[in-house]
Amino acid sequence: MGSAFSFCRPAKAKWQVIVGFGSLLSEVSARGSFPSLRNFRRGKLRNWKRVFAHPAAIFFERGIARMETREIASLSIEPCEGEEFYVALFEISDNEMPTFYAREEEFKFVTVSVEEEEKGLFTEAIACARGTDELFIERWGQDTFHQKYKKNGIESIWNFEGKILPCRVTTKLLFILCGVVWG
């Protein structure tokens, strides 16, 4: 993991602010991946939208993808002027960044400005945006692309042909998190 990852750090700090908008809306889920995270809080991301637009290898690995109904889509974000939504913000140490990159392997990592709900201040944070197949292959290699996607009948992560629907388990989790945790 070299230059393909180094660009997305917004600061030379020892802690990086991460944007959670899917399963990372849950502090329990976030702590499962990043045990030493700190300062979990709510924020608002403006001029971006959440999109179920790509299949995620983790859904196939966990046996929750439904290829027959095309319920295989995961969340990413895309720029969208005038849109906004609530996100989780938390900090992870630089030592945990390789874990973050591996967990979010298919994404393009972008630096965004997020409004912290309690303070009303803006902070720079790392978010997972729509990527490209080429970026995935550059980072992880053609063999990994084949093992994680092509062997499951997926020819492209980000240019999926035909209808694609949200993974049912992920959708259920988001409804629970948005309704119960986020009110």
**DSSP labels, 43-102:** EEEEEEEEEEEEE-HHHHHTT--BGGGTEEEEEEEEEEEEEEEEEEEEEEEGGGHHHHHH
Chain-centroid distance of CA 5 in Å reads 15
- Mean pLDDT on 50-70: 91
DSSP state of 24: G
Buried-state track 104-113, b at ≥16 Cβ within 10 A, e below 16: bbbbbbbbbe
Q: Which residues are within 8 A (CB) of 143 and not within 5 positions of it... i.e. 6 or more apart?
A: none
Tell whether the model's pLDDT for residue 181 goes beyond 60: no
Q: Which of 1-15, 19-33, 83-97 has the highest mean pLDDT?
A: 83-97
Question: What is the band of 29 on the pLDDT scale with cuts at 50, 70, 90?
Answer: confident
The pTM for the full model equals 0.86
Tell whether the model's pLDDT for residue 7 goes beyond 60: no
- pLDDT over 90 for what percent of the chain? 71
Q: What is the DSSP string of 108-165?
A: EEEEEEEEETTT--EEEEEEEE---HHHHHHHH-HHHHHHHTGGGT-S-SSS--S--E
**Tens of pLDDT along 108-136?**
999 999 999 888 899 999 999 999 999 99
